[in-house]
Amino acid sequence: MKKISLIIIVFVALNCYSQNKQILYNFTSVPQSMLSNPGSDVKYSWFVGIPLLSGFSANVGSSGFSVYDLFADNGVDINAKVRNVVYSSSRNDMVSINEQLEIFSGGFKLGDWQKGSYFSFGMYQEMDVFAYLPKDPALLALDGNNKYLGKVFDFGDLNARGELLSVFHLGYHKNVNEKLILGVRGKIYSSIFNVSSTKNSGYFYTIQGTNSIYDQVISANVLVNTSGFSNYTNNYSGNVKSDIIKKTLLGGNLGLGVDLGLTYYPQKNIQFTASLVDIGFIKHSKEVKSYSYKGFYNYVGLTPDFALGNSNDLIQEFNDAIPLDTLNVTYTTWRPFKFNSSIQYSFGDGRSSDCNCIGNDENKYANAVGAQLFVMSAPRSPLMALTGYYRRQIFDALEVKATYTIDSFSSRNVGLGLSTTVGKVNFYLLADNLLEYRDISKANSLSFQLGLNIIFPDKNTPD
């Protein structure tokens, strides 16, 4: 049991996600900022991302414990470390990992007949998983039920999902007038692998009756949906690499999504933005297999420890009451829905005689301060983050953005982003939680993003 529980905890710790990109959001000298707001105020004539190098990001985090708590070389037994983590955490604690790789991207301004319009397009691969700490099942696996007489263990604590997918997208934005920009982005999702188990319920408890008899009850309604795995479990003779490439190129389980965004200037130096990202779903009908534990079992015996022992009759009785059913049915998953909004005040003259103006009209201001709100849907309650930031145009080829974020993982998250353009080559590097780099094993969250683009500025953009 102890080994099983350790595996569960480590698995959860390594496989979750958080998708807030507060440094990138509205950092419009970086073309990839359009992925978080299709209504971003950008005015490149055109740009193209260097394939496989234009955008890579990774996020890791934990709201309940750090890697140091589990694996520190401090002489404490690993079982004791696991217990300390489980005892000190709550069922709403999360750990996270998210990875995104841009395969290709590009964008271009339409001709003079529609000079306020812009198209962007691309493809990226993404891996994300979400799980809460399974508090009650972990306690039961670690200690058994002997010391928890009367406690009701909640199987709803088992809540996780994960996916590897590719996304093809096409975006369009329009300068409606001098104050308002509207944008929309359509998406086609191709799921390569999916695991989803987010609507579980049930309970287990042990109570003492009369004459040293213990009454133990299990009610279970647990469902694990999977897609993309089944072909590899039964005498598979194909080529895994070619299968994954095929699923990546729209051969997987498909879905549709849309992003919406806007930028509004109530005054020339005051900006408001908002976006809704990943309003979408995926229909899983290929290589689907679901596993269901559903039923009710009541065991009455002399021992408080729930153990079926070596009795074949008891094992068969339990399996009959709560059978494992394998199903082949289609199911639908919804993408994690994200909302972003920001307000910004710009000031200071940032223009120069040789300004290349690769970004937007804000380049005439050297400084900007602002605040951003991020909200993402989650199975139990939305995840939220609030960011304050300062942006500075140091000189024409270099722009920096500093952020301070409060979220579920940290209350002192300091980040820094750099975007530089030399000639037509744009390079950006964004990193989060810089205060934790002194000892990353104790960090509750870390993230970074980087990439290379070729940018051609809009010659009609005023200096």
Tens of pLDDT, residues 39-89: 999 878 899 999 999 999 988 766 766 666 666 667 777 777 777 777 777
For residue 410, the one-letter residue type is S
Backbone angles phi, psi at 138, to 5 degrees: -70, -40
The pLDDT score that the predictor gives to residue 318 is 75
Q: What is the maximum span of the chain, computed from C-alpha positions, in angstroms? A: 93
With a cut of 50, say whether residue 22 has pLDDT above it: yes
Q: Comparing 367 with 128, which gets the higher pLDDT?
A: 367
In sequence order, the 6+-apart residues with CB closer than 8 A to the CB of 413 are 403, 404, 405, 406, 407, 432, 433, 445
| Of the candidates 462, 456, 437, 415, the residue with the CA atom closest to the CA atom of residue 21 | 415
User: Which backbone phi and psi does 367 adopt, to 5 degrees?
Assistant: -130, 155
- For residue 33 the two structure tokens come to 């900022």
Query: How far is the C-alpha of 452 from the C-alpha of 427, rounded, in Å?
Result: 5
SS3 readout for the chain: CHHHHHHHHHHHHHCCCCCCCCCCCCCCCCHHHHHCCCCCCCCEEEEEECCCCCCEEEEEEECCCCHHHHHCCCCCCHHHHHHHHHHHCCCCCEEEEEEEEEEEEEEEECCHHHCCEEEEEEEEEEEEEEEECCHHHHHHHHHCCCCCCCCCEEHHHCCEEEEEEEEEEEEEEEECCCCEEEEEEEEEEEEEEEEEECCCEEEEEEEECCCCCEEEEEEEEEEEEEECCHHHCCCCCCCHHHHHHHHHHHHCEEEEEEEEEEEEEEECCEEEEEEEEEEEEEEECCCEEEEEEEEEEEEEECCCCCCCCCCHHHHHHHHHHCCEEEECCCEEEECCCEEEEEEEEEEEECCCCCCCCCCCHHHHEEEEEEEEEEEECCCCCCEEEEEEEEEEEEECCEEEEEEEEECCCCCCEEEEEEEEEECCEEEEEEECCHHHHHCHHHCCEEEEEEEEEEEEECCCCCC
Averaging pLDDT over each range in 91-95, 115-119, 252-256, 349-353, which range is the top one?
Answer: 252-256
How many whole angstroms from its chain centre is CA 396?
Answer: 34
Share above pLDDT 70 across residues of the chain, in percent, rounded to a whole number: 83
Confidence of residue 14 (pLDDT cuts 50, 70, 90): very low
How many alpha carbons fall within 13 Å on the CB side of residue 269? 12
The yes-or-no verdict on residue 353 having pLDDT over 70 is: no
> How confident is the model at residue 114, as a pLDDT?
55
Among 15-19, 35-39, 248-252, 318-322, the range scoring the smallest mean pLDDT is: 15-19
Measure the CA–CA gap between 18 and 189, rounded to whole angstroms: 19
Measuring CA to CA, how many Å separate 415 from each of 347, 396, 427, 432, 433? Answer: 22, 22, 17, 4, 6
